[in-house]
């Protein structure tokens, strides 16, 4: 199985400041035939289902605010929230869909400082 | 707007079978992948498996011996069966749609808590 490791486990950021979450996969999730990284980011709030934010490592899902961005390739990825809003408090997960079993990182809890 | 809704018993006895159904509304079950994911209390997300609308499946090896996922295209729902459950199977169970590729899950159900206890 591909192991996904996120850092940090928790993060406190002031409103309006930048938040950065890292994700590392135990093997590359870059598919050479189409040059796509099979990596997604989800936002998970209490009492709600996870919400897809980013796929192909850097493509925003429809309706996701542009303060959310994803970057990286191969085994190292980053989710950035450029200006933290109160509604962004949540747990964020990276997930590889390169090969089953699809696996998630352990989650990063994002709070307001 | 596509909506998914899980249904089934919230309490299952140890050694028995957990059975859940996910009903899809606002869109067709055809041409997509349909997954089950779970989250034990206080823990992270675990992908259980998926079924393609045609009926082909892929299961997490950690659960493969106990899992069956079925699809009913005529009634626009799919189901999960997990047998020989233990307390370790207590979790919130989510169903989700995979589009473009199986693991890109863009629509999720609200989730249902299943507790395994006698």
Which residues of chain A neighbour B47 with C-beta distances below 8 Å? 100-104
Task: Determine the Cα–Cα distance for residues B24 and B7; give it in Å rounded to an integer.
Answer: 11
Stretch B80-108: mean pLDDT: 96
Distances (CA, A) of A18 to A11, A13, A58: 11, 7, 17
Nearest chain A residue to B97, by CA: A52
Report pLDDT for B100.
87
Report pLDDT for A50.
98
**Mean pLDDT value across chain B:** 96
A38 close to B (CB below 8 A): yes
| Tokens at B10, concatenated | 């919230």
Tens of pLDDT along A16-29?
A: 999 999 999 999 99
Report pLDDT for B90.
98
pLDDT band at B102 (very low <50, low <70, confident <90, very high): confident
Left (φ > 0), alpha (ψ -120 to 50) or beta: where does A79 sit?
beta
Within 10 Å of residue B56's Cβ, how many Cβ atoms?
11
Chain centroid, CA B32 distance in Å: 14
Nearest chain A residue to B43, by CA: A106
> Looking at the partner chain, which of A49, A97, A107 has a beta carbon nearest the beta carbon of B103?
A97
Question: Percentage of residues in chain A with pLDDT exceeding 90?
Answer: 100
Residue of A43, A59, A63, A100 to mutate, testing the B interface (most B Cβ within 10 Å of its Cβ): A100
A41 close to B (CB below 8 A): no
């Amino acid at each position: 199985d591909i192991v996904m490791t996120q850092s940090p486990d928790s993060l406190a950021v002031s409103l309006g400041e930048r938040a950065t979450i890292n994700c590392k996969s135990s093997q590359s999730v870059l598919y050479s035939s189409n040059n796509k990284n099979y990596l997604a980011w989800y936002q998970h709030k209490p009492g709600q289902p996870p919400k897809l934010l980013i796929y192909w490592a850097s493509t925003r899902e429809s309706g996701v605010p542009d303060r959310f961005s994803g970057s990286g390739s191969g085994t190292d990825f980053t989710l950035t929230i450029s200006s933290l809003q109160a509604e962004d408090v949540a747990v964020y997960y990276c997930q590889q869909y390169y090969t089953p079993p699809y696996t998630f990182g352990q989650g990063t809890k994002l709070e307001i400082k | 707007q596509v909506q998914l809704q899980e249904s089934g018993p919230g309490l299952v006895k140890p050694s028995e079978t957990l059975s859940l159904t996910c009903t899809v509304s606002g869109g067709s079950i055809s041409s997509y992948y349909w997954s089950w994911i779970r989250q034990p209390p206080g823990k992270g997300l675990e992908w259980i498996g998926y079924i393609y609308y045609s009926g082909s499946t892929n299961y997490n090896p950690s659960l493969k011996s106990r899992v069956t996922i079925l699809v009913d295209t005529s009634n626009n729902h799919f189901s999960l069966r997990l047998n020989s459950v233990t307390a370790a199977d207590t979790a919130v169970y989510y169903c989700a749609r995979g589009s473009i590729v199986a693991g890109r899950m863009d629509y999720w159900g609200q989730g249902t808590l299943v507790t395994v206890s006698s």
